[in-house]
Amino acid sequence: MSELKKDSRILVLRVNNFASYTFVDEHKKAINKHKAVWMLKVGRELAEQSIEKVMEESKKLIIKEPKHSGNHYYLCNICEIRTGEADSSMTMPKYYQELKESGVSMTGTWIKIDSMKQIPEKDLIHFELVKSGKKMTEVINCTRSPVLFVQSKVDLSI
């Protein structure tokens, strides 16, 4: 069970599937097999100051899967965050090799997670954007930003 403290900052990322691979399933398999897995947030690296606040306040990440995969939200425990390129010591899903071979840049923000639990629908109403106070679920599908920072308005156990 993951505990979330009221008002602690949480990183939120929308994720995509690749080819026939489902992001959530592949990362869960790797966690089950290796106890932790690295995931890549491609594109512009996350700001160091923002990462530090998440690591100080919650060490939590919420990922939102695509609508065609169920449109669910998952709470992940963050072990470590790095920027740049992957190194050979990092455990990642097997399909990342195919990503690389397809021309996807493997440079960005790497997030090591050791758990991924689906957030119950009833708990989603508690998450609000840090800056605006708007509900996460109302904003996430209409924003162009791939990264959001939210906080729960109540203590939660997920």
Three-state SS at 102: coil
Question: Residue 21: which CATH number?
Answer: 3.10.590
The number of domains in the chain is 1
Read off the pLDDT of each residue in 92-121 and give the average, rounded to a whole number.
94
The answer as to whether 156 is a domain residue is no
The two three-digit tokens of residue 46, written as one number: 């996350």
| Residue 14 falls inside a structural domain | yes
DSSP secondary structure letter of residue 123:
G
Token digits of residue 107? 């440079």
Structural domain contains residue 145? yes
Cα(41)–Cα(44) distance, integer angstroms = 8
- DSSP letters spanning 36-79: -EEEEEESSPPPHHHHHHHHHHT-EEEEE--GGGT--EEEEEEE
**What are the pLDDT digits (tens) for 9-28?**
999 999 999 999 999 999 99
High-pLDDT (> 90) share of the chain, %: 84
Give the DSSP H/E element, type plus range, for residue 13.
Answer: strand 9-14
Residue 38 structural domain: 3-151
Q: Confidence class of residue 38 from pLDDT cuts 50, 70 and 90?
A: very high
* Sequence letter at residue 150: V
Q: Predicted confidence band at 43 (pLDDT cuts at 50, 70, 90)?
A: confident
